[in-house]
Each structure stands twice: as C-alpha cells, then as structure tokens.
C-alpha cells in the first residue's frame, strides 16, 4: 500500500510539476497553461517528441496502445502523426479533445500550437508571428483564434481534465 501511495505521489509530481513551474498566472485565474508543456512529460530538444526521463513520445505511444488508440479515434490519424511536434503527450491528448469538443480541425489547432503546417491538404490560417519571432501559441490562444466565440479558458480546463482522465485510465489498463 505504501509503495502505491509513493508511486502515485511521484506520478503526480512528475505529471503536474512542469505545469506549476512554467508560467505565472494572474491571481484567481487558471490561465490557459497548456500551450507550453504543462501536462506530462518535459520537452525534448530533438524535434518536438516529448520525453519522460529519456523516453520519447513515440516510445510512450508504442508502449501505451490504449492512449494511442484514443488519440487516433479523436484525430482521425495515427497517434504518432498526430502528436508529432507537441511538447508532451498530455498536450497532444488535450488538443485532440479540444478539436473534437469544438469541431475545430485538429490539424489547424496543431498548426497554431506547434507551427507544423498540415500536410494532408487541410486549409488553415498560419499563426501570427509574435514579437519574439515565434509562430506558436498556447492552446487557449489557439482556441481564441480558431473559435472566437468559445470560452477558451473553460475549454482548456475541460480538455485538460479529459486528457488527465484518459492518461490515468490508459496507465491503469
């Protein structure tokens, strides 16, 4: 029992720790948070496949076929293809949920969040270049750009909760 609690505590720290350290938010707000690696693994500097302690996102997906299947079902593409360039697996799963929840083409949401243009012919408006020269945006900003009438904060929170649930369930199966 103590081992289970210790493992759960470690998983929570590893899973949520980067999110708490990444951004300061205004008092009383959740922020949109997820656009910069708040969920799950730390980013890997070799092309966007997030990693957890040396395990690439591709390896995580190969090992966890439950979550890979869920991502494929939500996005209509292989999990490896869908998650390519996302900072971590949690961010990819949450983006897949936002896409499904709001009817936003996944490739357009991914384009805004990662800067990777769709290769399947989907027409998306390129994300605007920021003052710092980047062309990526947080999930909340991407939702605002793609679905201005949506409550981006609530949608990010909902997607994060769905992704957390999916990841937890897939690790227990």
For residues 86 and 57, the answer to whether their CB atoms sit within 8 Å is yes
Q: What are residue 51's DSSP bridge partners?
A: 42, 56
At 124 the pLDDT is: 84
**Burial environment of residue 89 by CB neighbours within 10 A (0 to 12, 13 to 18, 19 or more):** buried
Q: 101-126: per-residue pLDDT in tens?
A: 999 999 999 999 998 888 877 788 77
- Note the helical H segments in 36-134: 57-63, 65-75, 79-83, 89-102, 106-114
User: In a structure prediction context, what are the per-residue pLDDT tens digits for the chain, which is 173 residues long?
Assistant: 444 444 444 444 344 444 433 333 333 333 333 333 334 433 333 334 444 567 899 999 999 999 999 999 999 999 999 999 999 999 999 999 999 999 999 999 999 999 888 887 778 877 766 666 667 899 999 999 999 999 999 999 999 999 999 999 888 76
Q: Within a 13 Å sphere around the CA of 6, how many CA atoms are in the beta-carbon half?
A: 3
In total, how many domains does the chain have?
1
Q: pTM for this structure?
A: 0.68
Query: What range does the domain containing 27 cover?
Result: 2-172
At 54 the pLDDT is: 77
**Share of the chain residues as helix, strand and coil, in percent rounded to the nearest 5:** 55, 5, 40
At 117 the pLDDT is: 87
At 53 the pLDDT is: 66
At 31 the pLDDT is: 38
């Amino acid at each position: 029992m103590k081992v289970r609690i210790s493992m759960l505590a470690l998983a929570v720290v590893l899973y949520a720790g980067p999110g708490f350290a990444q951004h300061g938010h205004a008092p009383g707000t959740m922020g949109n948070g997820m656009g910069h690696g708040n969920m799950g693994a730390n980013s890997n500097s070799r092309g966007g496949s997030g990693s957890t302690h040396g395990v690439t996102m591709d390896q995580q997906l190969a090992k966890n076929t439950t979550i890979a299947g869920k991502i494929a079902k939500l996005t209509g593409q292989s999990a490896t293809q869908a998650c390519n360039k996302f900072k971590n697996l949690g961010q990819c799963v949450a983006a897949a949920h936002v896409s499904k929840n709001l009817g936003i083409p996944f490739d357009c949401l991914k384009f805004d969040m990662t800067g990777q243009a769709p290769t399947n012919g989907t027409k998306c408006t390129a994300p605007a270049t920021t003052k710092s020269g980047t062309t990526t945006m947080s999930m909340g900003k991407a939702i605002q750009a793609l679905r201005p009438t949506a409550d981006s904060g609530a949608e990010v929170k909902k997607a994060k909760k769905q992704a957390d649930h999916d990841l937890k369930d897939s690790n227990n199966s």
